[in-house]
Amino acid sequence: MAEEQKGKEEVGSFTDSLRDIQGEYIMLTELYEKEKSYGQKLSDMMKTLQDEVDSTIQIRPDAIGEQCKEAYLVSEAVVVLVDNAGNRISRPLFRLPASTIVSVIEECTPELRRLLFEKRKSESGKVRSLERVLKELKKAEATFKQSRRDETEEEEEPKDEIKENVKEEKPSQKEPAQVAPQSRPSREGFAFKGSFGEKREVPGISP
């Protein structure tokens, strides 16, 4: 009975150990996935920032953790290593070990901050220049519109005066013309000229 009990205890202990190992493996796998995911996200963030400044950033060889002569972070978040023989090796940042990713980001952050500040300063100057020109154009546009309105008003005023003058000078209704009566010829002044029939001699009347 004692041996049987001991065997059961050993089997139970072994089974518990397997469960523990399985649990540790699952947790380790999850950590690996998180490490990979976080490394990818950090790499994408560096890619976005570096694309904005459009510049290659030099990295100290010690930050890489590998024997190399030079190291750079170039576009697309790619780390370029130059070994002692002058050979170039390119590796995506997210494929480097987690400790190297963190070290590279810490190494590049000050330079990224400086480059972003310089670019923002440059863009700020451009915006101020555009705003100044825009204000001047708005003033010129307002002056031009006012000038056009004044010209339009000046052109309309003479027309109104002409219309008023025409109304004032409109001729009044014509009065009927007075016709002077023609004088009829008096009988004394009437002289009949001509003859009716044949001319006859009328005997004179003796006294």
**pLDDT at residue 6 in the model:** 58
Q: Which of 102, 94, 97, 101 is nearest to 76 (CA)?
A: 94
Higher pLDDT, 198 or 94: 94
According to DSSP, residue 69 is labeled S
User: Could you state, in order of their start, the residue ranges of all structural domains in the chain?
Assistant: 17-123
Give the phi and the psi of residue 195 in degrees, each rounded to 5: -140, 150
What letter represents residue 200's amino acid?
R
What letter represents residue 100's amino acid?
T
**pLDDT at residue 151 in the model:** 74
pLDDT at 153 over 50: yes
CB atoms within 10 A of CB 94: 20
pLDDT at 196 over 50: no
Confidence of residue 170 (pLDDT cuts 50, 70, 90): low
Longest CA–CA separation in the chain, Å: 221
pTM for this model (two decimals): 0.57
Q: Enter the tokens of residue 74.
A: 């170039």
Q: Beta partners for 72? A: 58, 80
Which single residue is written with the structure tokens 């972003």? 116
Confidence of residue 169 (pLDDT cuts 50, 70, 90): low
**pLDDT at residue 192 in the model:** 44
Higher pLDDT, 50 or 195: 50
Query: Model confidence over 95-147: pLDDT tens digits?
Result: 999 999 999 999 999 999 999 999 999 999 999 999 999 999 988 888 888 88
What does the alpha-carbon distance between residue 76 and residue 59 come to, in Å, rounded to a whole number?
Answer: 16
